[in-house]
Amino acid sequence: MNLVEATLDADQIAFGQFRVALHPDRRPASHIDRVVLGIRPEAFNDADHARPHLPRIEVTVDVLEELGSDAFVFFHVAAPRVTIESRVAAQDEATLLVEEDSFFTARVEAMTSAQAGAALELAVDPYKFHFFDPQTGESLLPNGR
């Protein structure tokens, strides 16, 4: 799962250079403004092969891995990555851990036009977003959905 620090702002979530509308039926409580956002690779698709109503983000493809039945697109997000190590280090006052940008994975249709080094418009399904408490790692969705 791609994990990144994010900010909730009304009906949108901001992570790195991206801002995406939230799905009205799948979001944390309205009083929460900072989360760890989790997006599985299958929540993305090449916009040319996705449902037209889904939000879009434009990425630069760093790596393209073609697997036959689908392809993986790897791209950078200008936000600190979240790992178990970074959560543990944040609790240890004696340790400063500098995080790099996040490296996301998107699973797209095999017939994608993606090329390494080129721009690609990805559709992302906000219904498939996961939200976690930055301090505890617990799900912020009702019943942990």
Q: Is the pLDDT of residue 15 over 70?
A: yes
**DSSP state at residue 29:** -
Residues 20-34: what's their mean pLDDT? Answer: 89
Query: Computed from CA positions of residues 20, 25, 26, 31, in that sequence, does the dihedral angle turn out positive or negative?
Result: positive
Residues 129 and 37: beta-carbon distance below 8 Å: yes
What would the mean pLDDT of 10-35 be, rounded to a whole number?
91
Interval 92-123: pLDDT, tens: 443 334 457 899 999 999 999 999 999 999 99
The pTM score is 0.85
